[in-house]
Chains A and B, each alone.
Chain A
Amino acid sequence: MSILVYIEKAESKVKKTSLEAVSFASELAQKTGEGDVVALALGSLDSSELEGIGKSGASKVLHVSDSRLDDGVIQAHASAVAQAFEKSGAKTVVLAKSSLGDAVAARLAVKINAGLVSNVIELPEIGAEYLVKRSIFTGKAFAYTSLTTENKILAVKKNAVDLKTDGANAAVESLEVAIPDSDFGSKITATERATGEVLLPEADIVVSGGRGMKGPENWGMLEDLAKTLGAATGCSKPVSDMEWRPHHEHVGQTGVKVAPSLYVAIGISGAIQHLAGVNSSKCILVINKDPEAPFFKAADYGIVGDAFEIVPKLNEALKAEL
């Protein structure tokens, strides 16, 4: 027996969130006695990236090198995972919750008749029932889901377990799967991705700005601070609505939900819809000139004062320390 992990890549690298999923599967396998963790990688990836998946706890990597799978064609990916699942004899699939991961998991659940839980935040409790704790109401509550099927799929949220990096390189096996041409019926005509920056949904530190920043021309100091911290930049909804910043930076109820170790909110009042996007953060720092800003109630640390004065000083202090 084994647990199968669906691996995603971005720009020829295995995504860190997928390595977290491998780490999760490795702890799960120990708990359930499901044996080895087998990772499934689709599309072109070089051998060092493939072997490296072992460091997070996979003993074997199945590699489908078909370059048509380089793009995240949802149906084709779902078919490939379903076939690998049948061949591997696994009963459980683990994957990272993501734009592509969610889309693939939903179709896979029907294909392999598996119970599916998304937003999984910790290892399941296994007793008389197989209970999976997941985040609901956009992080405002948790639900325990009872999985009653033999086959199971867990879509794991960021930070559910610590990333394991001390494993040995994995053995790589190539795998042939037959994907019907109809699965490639939809075409990805272009991909626009911010390059060379830390991606917001996966970032360990996020620096966000709100209306208090007064205009897009003032984002330089936030970007400087983000650079010092190795952070991604985000923003509140009004900021993306006014097009000061692109939509994919909008953090909140209807935007990106983040789960970083540190969330820095600058000039954001903290409307409930914004808090819904950040309440999975481990630590929240709020900088706002209004001492009554609701965000302070959700924060771990706060500074009351003018961002234009504090942010450059904070950046200098961090540079000296880091």
Chain B
Amino acid sequence: MKILVCITHVADTTSKIQFTADNTKFDTTGVQFIIGPYDDYALARAVELRDQTGGKLTVLNVGEAETEPTLRKALAIGADEAIRINSFPKDSIFVAKQIANHAKEAGYDLILMGRESIDFNGGMVHGMVGELLGVPSFSPVMKLEVDGSTAKMAREIEGGKELLEAGLPLIAGCQEPIAEWKIPNMRGIMSARTKPLTVVEPSGDETQAAAVKYELPPAKGAVKLIDKDNVSELVKLLKNEAKVL
């Protein structure tokens, strides 16, 4: 089976979010970059499926040169080869077209990625790639089993889940508990250095919905503490001051 996993290169979840250049750029000072946590779940499941069925696992990122350590980490976790499409990821449709153009040529049985990136949270790229390639797309997928040319999935819906069956090829935006995150071992890290990482130039530069400026939420006021023996005071505040009851 040929599997593609698309990963994002994003600020660690504990990062302080700040902007520079008159609020038009994300401030990367002191920020540690990681594989997107949802992409990490997709990658972990892809490694398991590749190990079960054989075949090849390719990992792809649309990003500039600084994302290569993140791709190397994906190789250390178990991907066989990496592709970097050499461009800043301008918006969802731009990224989706880069992935679709690559996948059209390469022909994958399964394309996995996280349900959303943790920076822009759009959660749109998998569906766009699906439509561009004319194959089914599912998200957020929390369980994925492949049996021959059929996949069985569970997709999270509000307050529960849907169980699904679909033929390959397909695209899935993944989330926990699809697999446990894999931590690279020493052998993986050593072999990642020599696995192929190919840089490909992007096709087209069209955007439709690019972010032009950023803003931080207003600072939160101090918490109002209420004595534990005075819950009726709390109820009054919730009702009359916060007006949420």
Query: Do B159 and A197 have beta carbons less than 8 Å apart?
Result: yes
With known contacts A102-B139, A105-B124, A118-B124, A297–B220 Cβ distance under 8 A: yes
Q: Which A residues are CB-close (under 8 A) to B130?
A: 106-107
Find the B residue at minimum CB distance from A237: B176
Q: Which residues of B contact A310 (CB under 8 A)?
A: 228, 231
Within 8 A of A (CB), among B210-233: 210-217, 220-221, 223-228, 231-232
- Find the A residue at minimum CB distance from B136: A186
User: In the complex, are the beta carbons of A305 and B127 less than 8 A apart?
Assistant: no
Residue A175 at the B interface, CB < 8 A? Answer: no
| B207 and A148 within 8 A (CB) | yes
Choose the segment among B52-60, B113-121, B185-193 that binds chain A (4+ C-beta atoms closer than 8 Å).
Answer: B113-121
> Secondary structure at chain A's binding surface: helix, strand, loop or mixed?
mixed
B93 & A186 in contact (Cβ 8 Å cutoff):
no
B155 at interface (Cβ–Cβ under 8 A)?
yes
Name the A residues within 8 Å of B221 (CB-CB): 300
> Of residues 110 to 144 in A, which have CB atoms within 8 Å of B's CB atoms?
110-111, 114-119, 129, 131-133, 135-144
The answer to the question of A1 belonging to the interface, with a C-beta cut-off of 8 Å to chain B, is no
Decide yes or no: A191 and B157 within 8 Å by CB, A109-B124, A144-B215 being known contacts.
Answer: yes
Query: Taking the nearest CB of chain B, how far is it from the CB of A77, in angstroms?
Result: 11
Tell whether, in the assembled complex, residue B123 and residue A102 are in contact, meaning their CB atoms are under 8 Å apart: yes
Greatest chain A CB density within 10 A among B210, B211, B221 is at B211
Given A102-B123, A253-B13, A111 and B164 contact (CB-CB distance below 8 Å): no
Tell me if B128 is interfacial: C-beta within 8 Å of chain A.
Answer: yes
User: Chain A 140-173 against B: per-residue CB contact (8 Å), 1 yes, 0 no?
Assistant: 1111111111000000000000000000000000
Q: Which residues of A contact B175 (CB under 8 A)?
A: 254
User: Could you tell me the distance between the alpha carbons of A140 and B122 in the complex, rounded to whole angstroms?
Assistant: 14
A47 within 8 Å of B by Cβ?
no
Q: Which of A142, A144, A262, A313 interacts with B238 by CB under 8 Å?
A: A262
Q: Interface segment, A26-34, A213-221, A281-289?
A: A281-289
Number of interface residues of B (CB under 8 A): 78
Closest CB in chain B relative to A76 CB, distance in Å: 10
Contact call B92/A116, Cβ cutoff below 8 A: yes
Question: Any chain A CB within 8 A of the CB of B149?
Answer: no
Residues on A with beta carbons closer than 8 Å to the beta carbon of B195: none
Q: Do A321 and B245 touch across chains, with their CB atoms under 8 A apart?
A: yes
Q: Is the CB of A142 within 8 A of B217?
A: yes
Q: Is B137 an interface residue (CB 8 A)?
A: yes
User: Is B68 part of the binding interface, using a Cβ–Cβ cutoff of 8 Å?
Assistant: no
Q: Return B31 CB to nearest CB of chain A, in Å.
A: 11
- Does A67 sit within 8 A of B, measured CB to CB? no
How far, in angstroms, from A149 to B94 measured CA to CA in the complex? Answer: 14
Instruction: Select which of B127, B209, B242 is within 8 A of A115 by beta carbon.
Output: B209
CB of B107 closer than 8 Å to a CB of A: no
Q: Tell me whether A86 is interfacial, beta carbon within 8 Å.
A: no
Query: Residue B167 at the A interface, CB < 8 A?
Result: yes
Interfacial chain A residues near B156, Cβ < 8 Å: 99, 247-248
CB nearest neighbor in B for A289: B228
A74 at the A/B interface (Cβ < 8 Å)? yes
Q: Which residues of B contact A146 (CB under 8 A)?
A: 209-212
Instruction: Indicate if the CB atoms of B234 and A314 lie closer than 8 Å.
Output: yes
Complex interface bits, A251-281 against B, C-beta within 8 A gives 1, otherwise 0:
0011000000110000000001100100100
| Nearest 10 pairs of A and B residues by beta carbon | A106-B127, A305-B228, A115-B208, A193-B160, A186-B166, A110-B131, A199-B159, A143-B211, A262-B244, A107-B131
Q: A189-B164, A283-B244 are in contact. List 14 more A-B contacts (CB 8 A).
A: A74-B136, A102-B123, A110-B132, A116-B92, A144-B212, A186-B136, A187-B165, A200-B158, A261-B244, A273-B13, A283-B238, A298-B220, A306-B228, A322-B245
* 29 pairs of residues in contact across A and B, judged by CB atoms under 8 Å: A100-B157, A102-B124, A104-B127, A106-B130, A107-B131, A109-B128, A115-B209, A116-B124, A116-B208, A116-B209, A118-B123, A133-B215, A142-B215, A143-B120, A185-B167, A187-B165, A191-B157, A192-B163, A200-B158, A201-B158, A247-B177, A253-B118, A297-B220, A301-B223, A303-B234, A304-B228, A306-B228, A310-B231, A318-B245
Q: Which residues of A contact B (CB under 8 A)?
A: 10, 71-72, 74-75, 78, 98-100, 102-107, 109-111, 114-119, 129, 131-133, 135-149, 185-194, 197, 199-202, 205, 229, 247-248, 253-254, 261-262, 272-273, 276, 279, 282-283, 285-286, 296-306, 309-310, 313-314, 317-318, 320-322
